[in-house]
Structure 1
Amino acid sequence: MFAGFILMMLNSYWEIYMITLILMFLSSLISISSNFFNLSLECFFYFNSVSSLMMFLTIFLVIVSYLSTLKNKNSNYMVSIFILMLVLIFTFMTKNLVFFYIFFEISLIPTLYLIISWGYQPERLQAGNYMMIYTVFASLPLLIIILFYSIKNFSSDIYMLSIMGFFISNPMIISLMMLAFLVKLPMYGFHLWLPKAHVEAPLAGSMLLAGILLKLGGYGLFLMMNTFKFNNIYYFYFVIGLSIWGAVLSTFMCMQQNDLKAMVAYSSVAHMGMLVSCVLLDSSWGLCSLKLIMISHGFISPGMFLMAMLTYKMSNSRSLSYSKGLLSVSPILCLFWFLFCFCNMAAPPSLNFLGEMMFIPIIMNISPFNYFVIGLLMFMSVMFSMYMYTSVNHGVFSNFIKPFFELKSNDILSIILHLITFLLVFKLNFFIY
């Protein structure tokens, strides 16, 4: 009965829903900028600089994803997005490690429901199965290890576990603890579920999956590094090497894609490879680079999925072979494509550029050979971003594109809100302190 009342309210009074989200968005801004707010709630919730930024990004992306799909006022659709937002907020706020694992896994249910109910192709069931099998089975060892240390400490509180200072040097245990988060990111080698999920998911599902759900892996690694003491630095160097080379291979795979959404999905794998290195190096510069890359990717990647959807509406296809000559049809959409590709290739003054510049000195301390690897990674990032832009906007005008399609005001507003990342360059104190 209560659930039916909520459905009726969200279906009839969606303005109340939007006002609630905006108020939560403003409260998340206060939690970022106010230390007093964090200290007052520290007894009940776990706050740090990364979790505050993730809560801000979660509420922001839910608002923008709803604006992008304003015509779809289906009550189940709205409730699914709202429940997913609440679960993600609780995941970033909880101070209990067992509850963190529970919310971490519950976030899969609304995502799976969005993919199965509002996906585009019959293969959406296969995509949902891939996502569930990869993420659930990879996280089961993590639950066993968390329960073991919680029983040993008589508490699963994050502060208590960090005070106890459990030293873990066994590479097998470290691998099992990290596996759930490496699959969620995903790191190259565990990434096969991501392109399938992105291609089959609806617009809001792709935006939230790229903007927030992938960041759960980075936040989980950050939380494990702060809670437990991993003292096997050589094993970390091995994982960092795999992640960096995997990011390079992902950029090459981007050049081979013909599906626009699959290309954006593989670009996320490339960015998440750098994220793994930022977390595992465990330095102040690594933490700043982690926050910059996570926030920048959280703004740009969902925006690129929105641009892919608008391009699909004009050509009725996500194939790069059909979506050509967009410049002659919609110059404003071409301008937005340029700005998003500009940020995606980490050109100054974007946040991605600052994050990668802070990432370079710490990765160079491992080996001088990394000069070649990082240089190749950055070069290929520029290459596939330019290839994506030129493939969609330039070339011979395609007969499949509908010139009469016009951008709606809510679409333009959503795109402009994603480009707020340029303004965040003037508030770097959010990321440095």
Structure 2
Amino acid sequence: MMMKFLLLIVFLIPLSFSKKSFWINQCMMFLITFMFVSQFSFSGDYLNLSYFWGVDLLSFVMILLSFWVCSLMVIASESLFKTGYYYNLFMFVLLVLLISLYCTFASMNLFVFYLFFEMSLIPTLVLIIGWGYQPERIQAGIYLLFYTLIASLPMMVAIFFYYKMSDSLDYYFFFYEVDLLMFYLCMSLVFFVKMPMYFVHLWLPKAHVEAPVSGSMILAGVMLKLGGYGLMRLMSVFIPISLKINFIYVSISLVGGVYVSLICVRQGDIKSLIAYSSVAHMGLVLGGIMTMNFFGLSGSLVMMVAHGLCSSGLFCLANISYERLGSRSFYLNKGLINLMPSMSLWWFLLSSSNMAAPPSLNLVGEIILINSLVSWSLWCMIFLSLISFFSAVYSLYLYSYSQHGKIFSASYSYFLGSVREYLLLFMHWFPLNLLILKGEYFVLW
């Protein structure tokens, strides 16, 4: 059952090399997305099994997010198609990335998960170095590569060690609990880097700022979720050691979330602000997972989906301004409400979702995570209140600085936005605010 979707994506690869097939490919990706939605089931068990592929609710949501964000990446990258800048190769890289993400989330075996988890790094690197638009993209790519590689090699050793202990790497047979600190660190470090946890987050702002819009979308939308997904899958193995040392990670993620929120408030670059806000939001997710309770896991899943759609949409908006003005600076992107009032609506809607205003899915995620963390320790209330307050501060700062004020640049294009751009933003915002009506889906597993 799962193989049919994999083969569908594989057979799109030859299509990506034919001339003028850019939009056909994109339509096919949407078709695959809607076919995949029809496989949804209420069951918390593994379904649609084929060899070592299968989905439970957690995998299903993540694969659906991957399909959706990758389909929207194609719409956002129309400028590549117009300029003819290696758009066939771009499509090929995107499909390879989608295959690796699909296999990562659909695999039921830890080693297969590790294999595709690492494989997804390469297409992302190619996207940043190939289609980024500043010389610093090489440095950003090296940061991304080495942060991930240095953390992932200990994980491979830990996987072999676990296989020796338990004789199986299938998630279904994860009954053997390990009470070893070194094993826990080796296995989890790569997920902390991917999330990214404060202290190992420096690759993220660099990668986002240098990446093209599609690279930023897939990084914010799906790649950061790989860390949370991996931790959720392996939590049952770490129960004894987690109960002893998880307070360290919760502390780092909450205090780091406050620091990062303060960093956001003094950013002069739109993309950099959105990238740092991702670190703050994923810090909450990490804190939720580390509390080891049911609310924590459910809230983290909701927050990951909400952040994937919201952050991706904000990067699209930043790119829409960048394409017209040629700058991402707050000092030049001013008074846009005078030039593109209908686009300001989308800036407002996505900024308000980013600060967890109702009716966005971010609100559900934050409420559940606050429940989880406060039940774990009352001290968390201090940092949670600061994170919530500052997320409103930097979201309003992002909106008001870019939309209000005196128009700074005379070179702005007075073209009011195409249907494609409004469709792109609508398809980020609509599921983000519609899914709140079906919140029960996220707590079934």
* TM-score band w.r.t. shorter chain: over 0.9
Is structure 2 residue 21 aligned with structure 1 residue 13? yes
Once the two structures are TM-superposed, the CA of residue 364 in structure 1 deviates from its matched residue by 1.2
Residue 50 of structure 1, aligned match among 58, 67, 90: 58
8 Å CA contact retained: 2:59, 2:105:
yes
Is the CA contact 1:300–1:340 (under 8 Å) kept in the aligned structure 2? Answer: yes
Instruction: Give CA-to-partner distance per residue, 1:14-62, whole Å, 9 cap, x none.
Output: 3442343123202321233364995342664242221110100000011
Alpha-carbon distance in 2 for matches of 1:219, 1:424: 20
Counterpart Cα distance in 1 of 2:124 and 2:141:
9
Instruction: Give matches, 1:319-334, under 5 Å.
Output: 319-334=329-344
Query: What corresponds to 2:283 in structure 1?
Result: 273
Percentage of pairs with the same residue? 36
Match of 1:158 in 2: 171
Describe the shift of the 1:38–1:23 C-alpha distance in structure 2 as closer, same or farther (beyond 3 A).
Answer: farther
Q: What is the total number of aligned residue pairs between the two structures? A: 429
- Residue type matched to 1:28 in 2? F
Q: Which amino acid aligns with 2:352?
A: F
Deviates more, 1:59-68 or 1:71-80: 71-80
Query: CA 1:95 to 1:3, structure 2 compared with 1: closer, same or farther past 3 Å?
Result: closer
Q: Summarize the alignment of residues 352-431 of structure 1 with structure 2, pairs less than 5 Å apart.
A: 352-400=362-410, 402-420=412-430, 421-431=432-442
Structure 2 CA distance for partners of 1:266 and 1:40, relative to 1, 3 Å: closer
Give the secondary structure class of the aligned counterpart of 1:167. coil
State the shift of 1:244 in Å. Answer: 0.7
SS in structure 2 at match of 1:386: helix
Q: Per-residue CA shift, 1:70-106, capped at 9, x if unaligned?
A: 2423110001111101110000011111111110000
Superposition map of 1:9-408 within 5 A: 9-33=17-41, 35=43, 39-41=47-49, 44-73=52-81, 74-160=87-173, 162=174, 165-400=175-410, 402-408=412-418
8 Å contact from structure 2 (residues 216, 315) kept in 1:
yes
- Deviation of the 1:324 alpha carbon: 0.6
Give 1:7 deviation, angstroms. 6.0
CA–CA distance in structure 2, aligned partners of residues 4 and 370 of structure 1: 48
Counterpart contact for 2:306–2:361, Cα < 8 Å: yes
Task: Give the CA deviation at 1:399.
Answer: 2.3
**Post-superposition shift, 1:167?**
2.2
1:174, 1:230 within 8 Å by CA — same for their partners in 2? no
Conservation of the 8 A alpha-carbon contact between 2:33 and 2:64: yes
Q: CA deviation at 1:189?
A: 0.6
Q: Which runs of 5 or more residues in structure 1 are unaligned? A: none
Question: Is this contact kept in 1: 2:254–2:383, CA < 8 A?
Answer: yes
1:227 offset after TM fit, Å?
A: 4.6
Distance 1:227 1:235 in 2: 14
- Give the deviation of 1:363 after TM superposition: 0.9
SS at match of 1:41: strand
Question: Is the 2:12–2:25 contact (alpha carbons within 8 Å) kept by the matching residues of 1?
Answer: no
Alpha-carbon distance in 2 for matches of 1:401, 1:424: 40
Amino acid at match of 1:98: F
State the shift of 1:145 in Å: 0.6
What SS is found at the alignment partner of 2:407?
coil
Amino acid at match of 1:318: R
Question: Equivalent residue of 2:80, what SS?
Answer: coil
Q: Over aligned residues, Cα RMSD in angstroms?
A: 2.1
Question: What whole-Å deviation, never above 9, does each CA across 1:143-186 have from its counterpart, x for those lacking one?
Answer: 101011113333322222x1xx2222233321221110000010
Q: 1:226: Cα distance to partner?
A: 3.5
The answer to whether the 8 Å contact 2:344/2:403 transfers is yes
Compared CA separation, residues 32 and 278, structure 1 to 2 (3 A): farther
- Distance change in 2, residues 1:321/1:16 (3 Å): closer
Indicate conservation of the 8 Å contact 2:132/2:210, yes or no.
yes
Q: Point out the more displaced range, 421-430 or 214-223.
A: 421-430
**Alpha-carbon contact 1:7-1:76 (below 8 Å) kept:** no
**Could you say if the C-alpha distance between residues 3 and 339 of structure 1 is closer, same or farther in structure 2, counting changes exceeding 3 Å?**
closer
Question: 1:33 touches 1:430 (CA, 8 Å); kept in 2?
Answer: no
Contact 1:134 1:193 in 2 (8 A): yes
TM-score for the superposition, normalised by structure 1? 0.94
Aligned partners of 1:10 and 1:17 also within 8 Å: no
User: 2:7 matched to which residue of 1?
Assistant: none
